[in-house]
Structure 1
Amino acid sequence: MASNSSLITNQKRFFYGPNYWKFDPIYQTNAKLFIKDLLNLKVVQFTEGSKITHGFFYGNHPIQEVDIIATIIAFEIINGKKSKFIKYTLDDGSATIGYVDFQNDDKLITEPKFDRGTVIRVIGILKDYNGKREIINSYGRMWDMKDPNAEVLRWLEILTLKKEVYSRPFILPKQMTTINNEVPPAISVEHESEESDPNTSISNSRIFERMKNFDNQSSPVTEEGFTSLITFYIYKNNLTRFSMVRIRQSPELNEFAKKVAINQYPCSKPNGQQVAALFNKALRMLVLEGFLNYADYNKISYRVDSLFVDTVKEWKIQM
C-alpha cells in the first residue's frame, strides 16, 4: 500500500493525510451511514516519519465517529479484570456490527441497558479489533428510540446524504493556508465510489420469483420469509397503494411476524415493539429492492413500483 503524509491516490481517488482531515465537514460530524457501508469503508495507511496512522474512508471522506439507528439482536456482558463492558450486536437491515459499551466504574455489570429487540441510536468511534470492525462507545451515547418510524426516517436521511453530500469528493481549496509550510494538494478527480450501496436494486427477477414460488406452509420462519410473505400478501390482495396500518391489521402477517420474533429472540411471547420492528424492516427492504416506493410525505404509505403494477393487477386473474 502506497503511503504519504499528505496525499495518496488510488485508481482516480485521492486521500488526504491526517493533517487535512479536519477540513472535511464530514469528519467534524457523526457520519450517518448504513452498517453495510461501515463494514465496507476503505482503510488507508499514512506514514509520517516513524508515525503510522490509519484512516477509514467513504469515497475520499475520512470517517471518525458514526451515528446509527439499529435493532439489538444479541448482547454479551464482559466483567473482566481490566475492563467491564457490554457488547451489543446491532442490525439495521443492511448488515450487523458490534457496539462496545464500556462501564466506567468498578461495579459489576448484571444486565444490559437495553434488551434484544430494542431499536436504539448510538454514536461511537469506529475501530478494527481482532479482524472485526466495531463501534466503540465510552461516553454513554446510546438512546432508546421511541418513534416506531425512526429507522425508516434514518434510512431516508442516509440516502439523501449519500446522494447530495457523501458522493461529492473532498477537495481542498487552492487558496487554503498551508500547514507546516507544506502546500496542500488541490486535485480535481472524478469521484469513483467503490462502496457497496444498500440502495442498489437487486435483480427484479428475485421479486417475481418470490411471488411465483412462495408457499406459506413451507416458507422459512425468518426475516427473509416474512418479507416474501408481505410480497405475496400484496399480490394476493391486488394492492398497488396501501398504508402501514393496512399491512399491520393482517392477522396472517402478524402471526407470522410473531413466529419470526420467537425464533429471533429467546422469548415465548414477543412484544409489540419486536413485531413492529419486523414489519418496518421488511417494508424498508422492499423499498430498497425497488418493489415499493413511499407514497406520502410522512413515509407511512406505500405504492408498488410501476414496473410491478401490471403484475399485481393480473395476479387476481391467475389465482
Structure 2
Amino acid sequence: MDLPAFWALDPLLKTHVKIFTADIERLSNIPDYHEQFPDLYKFDTRIISNVEIAGTIVGLEQNNTMIIYTVDDGFGTIPCCNWAVRTYAEPEFELGQSVRVLGRISDYKNQRQINIHEIYRMVDYNMEILHWLQTIRLRESVYSKPFDIPKDILAHKDELVAMLKTMDQDMIMESEDSQTQEEDIEIPDEQAFLDTLYKYIEDLAVDGKIEYRAIPRLPAIQKIARQYLTNSIPAASIDYNKIKLAIRQAFATLCADGSLFVVDAENDIYEIVRLDGQLRELILSIIRDVHVDQHDIHHGGVTGAYITTKVKEDSRFESISWSKVFEALQLLVLESIIYQVNPHEYSLIQ
C-alpha cells in the first residue's frame, strides 16, 4: 500500500502476526516512511507492528525496569522485554520453559526485540509445532497476499486524504484564539526547543510520569514545535505529522541525554529524571552498599566518579551526564543527608 493515510484499514497492522524469529530479523522499515513510522515494518506485502512467537527461554536478564527473556524458536533467538513488572520482581518464567509471546516489534541499539504485551507458558510441547504449522499456513494464505483497499474508498481517496489533512490542521490550530494574548516564546534552535518542551513536560507530569500520546495534541506544545520547525521548513508545509515527528525525536533526544527514561514502552510512558526522585534514591543506595575495601573508596568516602559509573549501570540512567549526578549530590549535601569527606568524595551523615 502506498497510501499511509489508509494503512490502518489493514487488519494485520495491529494483529499479532504469527511469525518466526528469523523472519522478524529480516523485517525492513517502510521505504520513505522510516522516520515518520519507525515502529512499522514491511512483511512480504503487508505492514505490521505486532507479532506472536513460540519457543524456549534460553536467556534471562533482569534490571529495575524490566525482565528480558531471550526466546529460541528453532529458527533463531530474539530478546523479549517485559516492562510490566515490579522493580526486581521474581521472574515469572524460568530458563528452559516453553512460552508463547505476543508483543510489539522495536529496534534498540541496532538490535531487533519484542516488547511483550502478553506471555504464556506452554505446557504441551506440541503447541510449538502447531504454531509452526499455523505460521507457515498463514504466510501462504494471508500474509503474502496484498491488502486491497475497498473500491469505494479508492474512488474517493483524494477527497478523504484532503479531509484527513484538514482535520490535522484543525487540530494544530485548536484553541489558537485563546493563545493570541499569550507572549510568544522564541525557539531559535533545537536546544531552545528541547529546553522549552522539557519545562512543559515537568509541569504536566503526574508523579514524575508523562504519557507521550497526549503531548502532541496540546495546543501550546504544537505552537512551540511549529515555531521550531519554521527554522528549517516553510510554515505552510508544517502539518500535524511533522509536528508529531519533531516531538517524538525530541523525546528520543531527552532520553539520550538522561533527562527522561522509559518506564512503560507499550503505553509510551516516560518518567522525568528528577534530582529529588529516583536518582536521589539510587545515589543513596549506592553509597550505602559500598564496602570500605573497594578501590574507589578513601577514608570512608565514595568518589563521584564511582557513583556516576554505578548510576549509569542502571538502564534508566545509562545516558545521564556527570553534571546531573553532581547536581543531585550537591542537593543531598545541602539537605544534610550526605557530606563531602574530600573534594568529590561523599559519605552518609549517620
TM-score bracket, normalised by the shorter chain, equals 0.3 to 0.5
TM-score after normalising by structure 1: 0.46
* Larger-Rg structure: 2
TM-score after normalising by structure 2: 0.42
* Higher RCO by CA contacts (8 Å cutoff, separation 6 or greater): 1
Flag the structure with higher helix content.
2
